[in-house]
Amino acid sequence: MHRSSASSTECVSDAKTGTTGSAGMETESLSARLTAAGLGRVANDIIQLSMPSIRLHCRQTTDQAELPLGNSRLGGRPDLPSGKNWPAWQGSPMAFVGQVNLADIAAHDQEGHLPHSGLLSFFCAINEMGLIQSLGDPSCWTVSHFDGDPATLVQLPLPPDLPKRLQFRGCETSFSREPTLPDVRSRGILNLGLSEPERNAYIDVMTGVDVNFLGVFNHHLLGYPYTLNDLPFIAGYLKAHGVADPYAIFLGLSNEELQHRLQLLNLPHKWEDEQDLRDKADMEWRLLLQVYTNEEAQMIWAASGVLHFCIPKEALSRRDFDRVWVEMQFV
């Protein structure tokens, strides 16, 4: 849904395009939603498992000059320290996903998971089909934290060789604190012992079916990722532990076929089964930023996909953004 005006466009929730809106799953309404869905028995347990996120609400600007130097934005042109070049992959400019002025999110990050000063910038190498250029290649993305003098920032022009479809429109962002729910396959949810009707009801609430998908396909920092496939932390976890990613090699295989291939390859894996792998990845990693396909910035990830910037929990606590891993999911 795309509404133009002379100066800006407000992001509106749309399940088809993944655009964002101001309405969201507020903490005070979560209990009522769970109860209405038939989950009153475990509503308090689920609320305890919920995790706060920092939601990005975006406003499209028609003029990049409307975006002040160093402000938070999706798309547009990046503000980088004077003398720093636009990040590139194999000589070609990466797509600028966005930047967050961390002072803007300080009030919403009550736990102090992120720095509260400086600028956090996100770039990713994307091909003409909207896919990451090289699957599992950490040189395809970069996340940087600038905490120096804002006066030294320079807004870079778009590189002439950046493809038109990767020249995203600038969207000024504001923020709110909103809860997110874990995946139905997470250990915490499995431990609740949900019946099949309760499990289906939880999926409806987690995915927003009960509220017509209102606010589910969104952009947010921290919290749980909204997944279209499996947990986006798995590939980064495997890479960090020096294990080849069989899921990237054998896409589409059943669990049984996958385990058989692993045995044939004699890969040095350290998990008992797929659930064990998911649990261990979930314990070590967390979401840094999720950005959905959206019309406001004209970002299209492989036809309505989602980009997950993930980071080991210990790396985030040390502010080591060089350890970020990026996964792209799509239907």
Looking at residue 59, which CATH number applies to its domain?
2.30.320.10
SS3 assignment, position 156: coil
In a domain, 246, yes or no: no
Place of tokens 């002072």: 103
In a domain, 317, yes or no: yes
In a domain, 257, yes or no: no
CA atoms of 119 and 111, how far apart (whole Å): 19
In a domain, 166, yes or no: yes
- Please list the pLDDT of the chain residue by residue as tens digits (331 residues): 222 222 333 343 333 333 333 334 465 688 899 999 999 999 999 999 999 999 999 888 876 666 788 999 999 999 999 989 999 999 999 999 999 999 999 999 999 999 999 999 999 999 988 899 988 899 999 999 999 998 899 999 999 999 999 999 999 999 999 999 999 999 999 999 999 999 999 999 998 888 776 666 789 999 999 888 888 999 999 888 887 665 554 445 566 665 655 554 444 444 557 788 889 999 999 999 999 998 888 899 987 899 999 999 999 999 999 999 999 988 7
pLDDT of residue 244: 66
In a domain, 222, yes or no: yes
**Whole-prediction pTM value?**
0.84
In a domain, 307, yes or no: yes
Amino acid at the residue 138? P
Domain range for 130: 8-241+286-325
In a domain, 330, yes or no: no
pLDDT of residue 258: 57
Number of domains within the chain: 1
pLDDT of residue 136: 84
Helix ranges, 156-270 (H): 187-190, 196-207, 234-240, 246-249, 255-265
In a domain, 272, yes or no: no
CA atoms of 58 and 51, how far apart (whole Å): 22
